[in-house]
Amino acid sequence: MALSDHLRELRARILKAGFAVLAAFIVGLFFFDPLFDLVWEPYRSAQDSLPEGTSLGTSSGPAAGFLLHLKLCGLAGLIAASPVWLYQIWAFIVPGLHPSEKRWTGIFAIIAGPLFLVGVLLGYVTLPKGLEILIGLNPDGLTNLVDFDDYLTFFSRTLLGFGIAFEIPVFVVLLNMAGILKGKTLGAHRPWMIVGTFIFAAVMTPSGDPFTMTFMAAPMVVLFLVSEVIARLNDRRRAGRAINAGLSPDEASPLDL
């Protein structure tokens, strides 16, 4: 494909992903109150387990309510439309693959979206504990007044960080399917990948507490190990196909003993 064709393809994918997010955003506007309660619940859970001295609900500016609607429904739309825009990312890469590798498109579409949502759900479950640890660091007698806009930013970073973290092993497998990354390479750099996973989790979790970081890093390590196994099996399948590629129908293939 020429560069102009690649740019047109990229524009089409971005528009499709954008329309999906916009449609989910509009639907979210009709469910703003349940979404607001859903976002507020982790803070209330953390607040109930701590002594008096924390307060949430402050906002500033005449347009604060309007901006809150946009941010909250935008976050909901981004998460709800994640299967669509994740597929668009992969669909943009597909034209550069061999026909035998394009069949993995459907598998990616099935796995990537739910895995992102699982990461978001795990981030939501662990958020109250992270907030409890952070709020618990306030000295006695000091009232913690939290602006809801700041809390929503913290909330969004946590959920999106968990969701993106769960997608990284999927893209590792896709790079292997495309012939860019070998399973043997993953095995040789496994210790560094584990260390890098914990560093990534420490950076991506805005709370910075070890509890939330471990809850992000541990599943990522497991997914990395699974992706390494899949990559090694795929490399072995490719090697066997390459050995037998030049054989005639009547010629015996070599046995790998």
149-172: per-residue pLDDT in tens?
778 888 888 888 888 888 888 878
- pLDDT score at 214: 78
CB contact at 8 A, 1 and 95: yes
Highest mean pLDDT among 78-92, 125-139, 197-211: 78-92
- pLDDT score at 102: 63
CB contact at 8 A, 179 and 63: no
Is 218 inside any structural domain? yes
More confident residue, 239 or 140: 239
Split at pLDDT 50, 70, 90, the class of 256 is low
pLDDT exceeding 70 applies to what percent of the chain?
74
Is 252 inside any structural domain? no
What pLDDT, in 10s, does the model give residues 46-65? 776 665 555 555 666 667 77
Is 34 inside any structural domain? yes
CB contact at 8 A, 104 and 174: yes
Is 76 inside any structural domain? yes
| pLDDT of residue 209 exceeding 80 | no
Split at pLDDT 50, 70, 90, the class of 220 is confident
- pLDDT score at 142: 66
- Structural domain span for residue 144: 3-57+65-241
Split at pLDDT 50, 70, 90, the class of 249 is low
Mean pLDDT of 192-207: 78
- 223, burial (CB in 10 Å: exposed 0-12, middle 13-18, buried 19+): buried
CB atoms within 10 A of CB 92: 16
Is 247 inside any structural domain? no
| Packing angle, helices 190-204 and 148-177, rounded to 10 | 160
Is 150 inside any structural domain? yes
Is 182 inside any structural domain? yes
3 state SS of 220: helix
CB atoms within 10 A of CB 116: 23
Is 144 inside any structural domain? yes
Q: Which residue type is seen at 3?
A: L
| pLDDT of residue 180 exceeding 80 | no
Look at the chain and report how many structural domains it folds into. 1
- pLDDT score at 251: 56
More confident residue, 203 or 255: 203
